[in-house]
Amino acid sequence: MNPLLIDLPEQIETERLILRSPRAGDGAMVNAAVIESFNELHPWMPWAKRILSDEESEIIQRRSQANFILRQAFNFRLLLRAGGDVVGSCGLQNFHWEVPKCEIGYWLRTKYYGRGLMTEATNAVMSFAFETLKMIRIESETDERNQRSKGVLDRCGFVLEATLRNHMIGVDGSLRNVCVYSRIAENGTSSH
């Protein structure tokens, strides 16, 4: 099935969050969350190399919006149901539709750490991936030292498959081990 034929929900709602596709006009508000969280994002997220201008952030939002519509990446913006504040992002990318499989990635605004919000968002994105997109495998690669990210994966039922030794260079220039996690569809088959 051509992924363009998959009907996408307008938004996904969980107990505390609204997950919606990126939109033109999101640039400044997402950038504010990233700037506030820069010190925690910089060690782990390859894109968090420097602080961006709102205009640069807007270009990224519009590219994400286009990718969402084209079914090339689904980077959900996470908004608090109570008040609408930007909490972070949780998304699916690197699709191999012939399997079909993809990768999941996420980041949280620092002031929202420790409340289970990313676990809640990840569980919702996993349901979207398995039920709407019919994925049979979802992967995540994380730095072996990223305990908080590993915590999210453990809570969401991912299995550690391997630890790749000396697999990448961290932002500080040191060699890093990378943990490969996955979750697979329960019946192991796909309707695509």
Ligand X SMILES: CC(C)(COP(=O)(O)OP(=O)(O)OC[C@H]1O[C@@H](n2cnc3c(N)ncnc32)[C@H](O)[C@@H]1OP(=O)(O)O)[C@@H](O)C(=O)NCCC(=O)NCCS
- Where on the chain is the footprint of ligand X (CB under 6 A)? 40-41, 44-45, 105-108, 113-119, 142, 146, 148-149, 151-152, 155
Q: How far is the CB of 76 from ligand X (least distance, A)?
A: 13
Is residue 67 helix, strand or coil?
helix
Which CB sits closer to ligand X, 20 or 155? Answer: 155
Nearest distance from C-beta of residue 49 to ligand X, angstroms: 14
- Please identify, using beta-carbon distances, which residue of 23 and 115 lies nearer to ligand X: 115
Tokens of 170: 């961290």
- Give the pairing of strands 101-108 and 137-143: parallel
What's the min distance (Å) between Cβ of 101 and ligand X? Answer: 17
CB nearer to ligand X: pick between 24 and 162 = 162
Letter for the amino acid at 189?
T
Distance of CA 117 to the CA centre of its chain: 13
Contact 62, 39 (CB under 8 A): no
Kindly tell me the burial class for residue 36, based on how many C-beta atoms sit within 10 Å of its own C-beta (0-12, 13-18, 19 or more): middle
Cβ distance to ligand X smaller for residue 8 or 44: 44
Residue nearest to ligand X (CB): 116
Smallest gap from Cβ 112 to ligand X, in A, equals 7
30 vs 117, beta carbon nearer ligand X: 117
Return d(Cα 159, Cα 162) in angstroms, integer: 9
Structure tokens given for 75: 């980077």
3-state DSSP assignment of residue 112: helix
Smallest gap from residue 122 Cβ to ligand X (A): 7
